[in-house]
Amino acid sequence: MILKEIVRLIQGRLLYESEDLLEKDYSYAVASDLMSNVMLETVDDSILITSLVNAQVIRASEMMNIKGIIITCGKTVNDTMIELAKNRNIALVETQDTTFTVCGKLHSTGMREGPLSFEGGQVTSIRLEPDRCIGCIHCVRCCPTEAIRVKSWKAQINAERCIECGMCVKVCPRHAIRPEVDQLSVLENYDYKIAIPASAIFGQFKDVKSRNHLLTALKRIGFDDVYEEAIGAEMISYATRQQLKKEDRPQPLISSGCPSVLKLLQIRFPNLLDHVIQYRPPVEVVAAMARRQAEARFPDKKIGIFFIAPCTAKISFIKESDEVIESDIDEMVAISEVYRMVAANLKQLKDSEVEDLEKTGVMGLRWASPGGEGLALNTDKFIAVDGIEQVIDIFEKVEEEKLSGVDFIEAEACIGGCCGGSLTVENVYSAKTNMKVIIDEAKAKYGDRLLNVPEDEQELERNRELRYRPVLRLDEDLNVSLKKMEEIGRIVSTLPGVDCGVCGAPTCKAFAEDVVRGSITERACIILNRTRGR
């Protein structure tokens, strides 16, 4: 079949037509059957059909004497990729038909069957939808703990490695990875409903007259009362100030505010677990207070406490019993779920109808943006870092004792902090601007003082200590583990090192680890097959 006919068959768009190639016959070369263990029979003058294109894939194709690349994931190819292919005289075809692909034996034109699944348990805040997944590996590349692989065209998440940061939710072009949250329809299950909105909700709306306007609009969705998450943030800020005064404390202390960061520490940086402040999440502190007060007022009513969450990680943290033995939160609803209704209520709300619901000042509200937690501690010796890759870099420096003169590290997985959470709506930078307006309003009204101080700091403490999660360990036996590390090194030395991702792993090193763990074979590397003459 010639390339022109393939373009017509898949209704593709020829991005670059290489010289004298369109009149020749070609055999198909499938990009690793995406991630199955089927051996590829790639030959000279072949056409690569893949759901991925990047610089590494194009360079690898040149090494294999590939004459044309067909991209089937529906992702628009940028000018840089086109120019790269042109310089290597490789024809480049883009198709928006996301149902097209071929199987390892080159006979099928339908999407290969295979469930999206979890390995090693269940991730509590993320749902996978098989019918939507096209095996494009966007999620594989973005995962900070390398918890995702694509096998048989479908994503698989290793639940033990997953820190539930929500990056995969953000980048999936087909929305195959979705947050697992509650719906507002469950409001009817309770007699008295209390909403606890994450402070990031204030960044989702522009030109709001006041914080009370927004809180009233939220209450009118169907709640009987509203408590701000920032109340708990202020209490924890006060308690952390006291911790910083202790001479025998670990140096530096690490914030416990971001659940994804806590899981990252459990998996990759267990030596730093003693540095983490052992306080519960602010929302749990507020939920306990709200329930106690509501039950005193309405002893015969069924109380329902709803957390309006900015991200999947906070939902997961509440659901997981090993972190919080008994939560006072009944339901978790995404900020994106309530956004439209709050916006509609804001338009209709009259100034005379606004209730006085705000109970916290600037110190608690600042937690929604990077640096806010540190600013509440009355110290200049703190680092505020956002974005999981930057967090990893800082923690590595702490482990290597290359970070000095720092008392406190505020670390948040999402760029922009909670304002950039996976369950928010507004662009993170616009949200931070909107948030600043609310913060400035609170500062003008209350100054820099803490409005909420805990009666007993022990009530803020976590139920259990964080524990090391040895999911990266190759074997329980140290000697066996060392041998496996040597084998990984040997395999890596034979691989091309281009990190193309067509094997389903994010890097060549991750692929080598998968081989050693027995979840895949070396034959899944398309370039290795080529160099070995397969």
Across the range 413-426, mean pLDDT stands at 93
Rounded CA-CA distance 515/485 in Å is 12
Tens of pLDDT, residue by residue over 295-323, are 999 999 999 999 999 999 998 887 774 44
- Set out the domains of the chain in order of their start, with CATH numbers: 3-110 (3.40.1390.20), 117-179 (3.30.70.20), 184-460 (no CATH)
DSSP state of 50: E
Residue 436 phi/psi, 5-degree rounding, is -65, -35
Rounded CA-CA distance 296/277 in Å is 31
Across the range 149-174, mean pLDDT stands at 87
Tens of pLDDT, residue by residue over 429-464, are 999 999 999 999 999 999 999 999 988 887 888 777
Enclosing H/E stretch for 349: none
Confidence of residue 118 (pLDDT cuts 50, 70, 90): low
Terminal Cα-to-Cα distance of the chain (whole angstroms)? 22
Residue with tokens 């994106």: 336
**CB atoms inside a 10 Å sphere around CB 19:** 7
Q: What angle do CA 502, 508, 513 make, to 5 degrees?
A: 110
**% of the chain beyond a pLDDT of 90:** 49
Q: Which of 33-37, 283-287, 360-364 has the lowest mean pLDDT?
A: 33-37
Tens of pLDDT, residue by residue over 503-528, are 889 999 999 999 999 888 888 888 78
Confidence of residue 224 (pLDDT cuts 50, 70, 90): very high
Confidence of residue 7 (pLDDT cuts 50, 70, 90): very low
Residue 367: both structure tokens together: 């937690």
Long-range contacts, 428-437 (Cβ 8 Å, 24+): 430/203, 430/206, 431/200, 431/203, 431/204, 432/203, 432/369, 433/203, 434/202, 434/203, 434/204, 434/205, 434/206, 434/208, 435/199, 435/200, 435/202, 435/203, 435/365, 435/368, 435/369, 436/369, 437/208
Residue 148: both structure tokens together: 């995702």
